[in-house]
Amino acid sequence: MFSNSQFIKPQAPFCKAFSKNNASSVFCKYFHLGKQPKSATLYICALGIGYAYINGKRVSEDLFAPPPSDYEKRLWYMQYDVGALLQEGENVLSVLCGNGFLNEDMQNAWGSTDAPWRDYPKMIATLFIDGMPYLHTDGTWRCSTHTPYLMNRYRQGVVYDARIPAPDSPLFNGRTWDFAIVDGRAPKGVLTPYESEPIRALQTIRPIAVHKRNEKRLIIDFGVNMSGFVRLFTDGKSGTEITVRYGETLTDDGEIYAEENMRTSYFQQGEFATERLICNGAPFVWHTLLSYYGFRYVEICCEDLSALERAEAVFVAQDIAPRSSFTCSDPFLNKLFACGIQATRSNMFYMPTDCPTREKYGWMNDAQSSAEQILTNFHAEKMLLQWNVNICDAFDSEKGLPGIVPTHGWGYHWGNGPVSDGSIFEQVYRVYLHSGNPTGLMDNLPYFKRYFAFLKTREDEEGLLHFGLYDWANPNENICTTPLELINAIYRVKFNRIAGLAARLAKQSDEEFLAEEKRQIAIIKKHWFSPKGGYHVREQTAIAMLIYHGIYDDLAPLKAQLKACVEEREYHHNCGMVGLRH
């Protein structure tokens, strides 16, 4: 598909340091067709985020493509039918590329400024016409970093100057731009077709309230938390600047609460969740293409608020069909379920992310805890299987699995361990249970074996593991009350049961997994069970896990202990995400 194509990028020298202006790249190629083609297909991988246009029209409604990955191991590419956009005579193919996760220059808690692939946004593409390759990316393409996006950061926001023609503008003209250069340090990942559902604009939401704070500032309430952005309808004078700041909550006095989720401690440079639109003096409808946010409220500031005609929210997420629904006679339960569904949808962005507000990462611990819920409520098999490829790519025989996937290298020393690593087992197992598709389980079997070998290197002399996340986000000031070693041992029982199933489906022996399951159960009984069959510590998470996974000789003592633990807390949970899952 890409045998004669090369990654191309701007000629300008790349600077890794934080910069107020962190521009996008636009590439274009003018070409002539002697006749209207019968068919045409564009294959493209634009990093970190790319949008292709033919003759000024976007080739797809997809957003934030392609999916992020470890670009040194995997490069997802998109495929688009573009025959209807081509014409006899002159044509132009242009591509807008934003930074995405490829190039993060702001200092943050996860060290993404040290990602080995950081560089200018770049692309590789091939255009097939009537079944034959017609255009390839090479040094004959034109390129510019003088684009409407004066600044774009996936997790912080954008500055957009509508006075500069974009690829969909009738005034767009790249004929005299500098030539692009062939990337001498192109990413080494395997180009792989992306076959899951795209990210799309799913819903337009009108405000439920608009609060005018003063003559230059509005607070708009859209009534529901969501992932996405706002669409602005403007008619401001050329050069008029409109600033949009996003937030999930308000302070007591009705202002955007900018400190939620500890934003300032995680991002030390630049504004956060903020957009600036510079008007062009004509009626203009705009929304960002290079960043998204978690929000219910927006603050809009402008020296002349009459420049803004109106604003609406656009709910954006992966376009995955629902599988189930729930309703009952209790309004509170209905609302609780709706909140769960909205939160899940807002975090389906090529993977189950932790939040659309701050990190936008695929946290493995969150995914192991929520995979069953996701598949119960959504037909998310394709998304999870595609993300599973990234998970397998992230495995390292010496470091194991990271806490986030994909990773730029962060997460092998914190945020991992069986509580997180279990995603490599849980995703494909739940896909099998919900769909009957065993492919993921069987494909992962070699990785299961490699992971078990890694765990053996981390055991102490008694077979216990002392690393990884614990019963995270519990109400005890997030202090672990359930022994981490017990949690890890119980998860190892679960993992070996799943691996045994995968072996049987692949028509292979499951003896090694059965033996390891028995070894872990023996370790658990030796260290944590009393002679009478109960658990040594009166603690909800541990007892619930033992019951759930059937690790006991007599159920009655454990049931009595769990009942007492719940009653002691006046029927409140006293556990974190591990315990709640069980």
What are 45-73's pLDDT values in tens digits? 999 999 999 999 999 999 999 999 999 99
Q: Which is nearest to 441 in space by CA: 455, 431, 453?
A: 431
pLDDT tier for residue 529 given thresholds of 50, 70 and 90: confident
Using an 8 Å Cβ cutoff, are 6 and 124 in contact? yes
pLDDT tier for residue 264 given thresholds of 50, 70 and 90: low
Q: 261: which DSSP letter?
A: G
- Distance between CA atoms of residues 438 and 367, nearest Å: 19
- CA 366, 369, 375: angle at the middle one, nearest 5? 105
Pairing of strands 49-54, 8-9: unpaired
Place of tokens 């934030």: 64
Using an 8 Å Cβ cutoff, are 375 and 368 in contact? no
Three-state DSSP state, 122: strand
Task: Tell me the average pLDDT across 92-103.
Answer: 97
Task: Report pLDDT for 282.
Answer: 96
Distances (CA, A) of 413 to 109, 116, 393, 468, 531: 14, 18, 17, 8, 37
pLDDT tier for residue 478 given thresholds of 50, 70 and 90: confident
pLDDT tier for residue 155 given thresholds of 50, 70 and 90: confident
Task: Report pLDDT for 257.
Answer: 87
The rounded percent of the chain whose pLDDT value lies above 90 is 88
Structure tokens at 371: 């995979």
Q: Please write down the HEC assignment for all residues of 74-140.
A: EEEEEEEECHHHCCCEEEEEEEEEECCCCCCCCCECCCHHHCCCCCCCEEEEEEEECCEEEEECCCC
Q: What is the pLDDT of residues 76-86, one digit of tens each?
A: 999 999 999 99
Task: Report pLDDT for 260.
Answer: 56
Q: Is the alpha carbon torsion for 34, 39, 43, 48 positive or negative? A: positive
Q: Which is nearest to 391 in space by CA: 348, 447, 431, 439?
A: 447
Q: Please write down the HEC assignment for all residues of 519-569.
A: HHHHHHHHHHECCCCCECCCCHHHHHHHHHCCCCCCHHHHHHHHHHHHHHC
pLDDT tier for residue 259 given thresholds of 50, 70 and 90: low
Task: Report pLDDT for 265.
Answer: 67
Q: Which is nearest to 288 in space by CA: 170, 392, 154, 164?
A: 154
pLDDT tier for residue 261 given thresholds of 50, 70 and 90: very low
Strand partners, 125: 44
pLDDT tier for residue 267 given thresholds of 50, 70 and 90: confident
- CA 471, 472, 474: angle at the middle one, nearest 5? 85
Task: Report pLDDT for 490.
Answer: 97
Q: Is the alpha carbon torsion for 125, 129, 133, 135 positive or negative? A: negative
Q: What is the pLDDT of residues 219-234, one digit of tens each?
A: 999 999 999 999 999 9
Task: Tell me the average pLDDT across 147-159.
Answer: 94
Q: Which is nearest to 69 in space by CA: 98, 42, 48, 52?
A: 48
Contacts of 98 (CB under 8 A, 6+ apart): 24, 48, 49, 50, 121, 149, 152, 154, 289, 290
- Give yes or no for residue 258 having a pLDDT over 90: no
DSSP string, 295-332: EEEEEEE-SSGGGEEEEEEEEEEE---B------S-HH
Task: Report pLDDT for 108.
Answer: 87
Three-state DSSP state, 386: helix
Phi-psi region of 79 (alpha: psi -120 to 50; beta: other; left: phi over 0): beta
Lowest mean pLDDT among 179-183, 370-374, 469-473: 469-473
- Distance between CA atoms of residues 192 and 288, nearest Å: 27
- Give yes or no for residue 244 having a pLDDT over 70: yes
The stretches of 41-113 forming alpha helices (DSSP H) are none
Give the helix/strand (H/E) hosting 476.
none
> Angle between the 423-435 and 381-394 helix axes, to the nearest 10 degrees?
150
Q: Which is nearest to 152 in space by CA: 91, 81, 103?
A: 103
Distance from the Cα of residue 425 to its chain's centroid:
19
- Give yes or no for residue 441 having a pLDDT over 60: yes
- Give yes or no for residue 534 having a pLDDT over 70: no
Contacts of 305 (CB under 8 A, 6+ apart): 215, 216, 217, 218
Lowest mean pLDDT among 111-120, 237-246, 469-478: 469-478
Mean confidence (pLDDT) of the chain? 95
Task: Report pLDDT for 272.
Answer: 86
Using an 8 Å Cβ cutoff, are 143 and 177 in contact? yes
Task: Tell me the average pLDDT across 408-424.
Answer: 97
Place of tokens 């990190």: 359
Q: What is the pLDDT of residues 299-332, one digit of tens each?
A: 999 999 999 999 999 999 999 999 999 999 999 9
Task: Tell me the average pLDDT across 127-144.
Answer: 97
Pairing of strands 74-81, 190-193: parallel
- Give yes or no for residue 268 having a pLDDT over 80: no
Lowest mean pLDDT among 20-34, 39-53, 85-99: 20-34
Structure tokens at 68: 């992020």
Q: What is the pTM of this model?
A: 0.95
Task: Tell me the average pLDDT across 244-262.
Answer: 83
Q: Which is nearest to 24 in space by CA: 103, 111, 136?
A: 103
Place of tokens 């034959």: 132
Structural Rg of the chain based on CA atoms: 26
Q: What is the pLDDT of residues 447-476, one digit of tens each?
A: 999 999 999 999 999 999 999 999 998 888
Q: Which is nearest to 19 in space by CA: 95, 110, 118?
A: 118
- Distance between CA atoms of residues 23 and 370, nearest Å: 37
Structure tokens at 138: 């090479």
- Distance between CA atoms of residues 46 and 93, nearest Å: 13
Phi then psi dihedrals of residue 300, to 5 deg: -120, 125
How many H helices and E strands in the chain? Answer: 12, 23
Torsion of CA 312, 316, 319, 321, to 10 degrees: -70
Strand partners, 9: 181
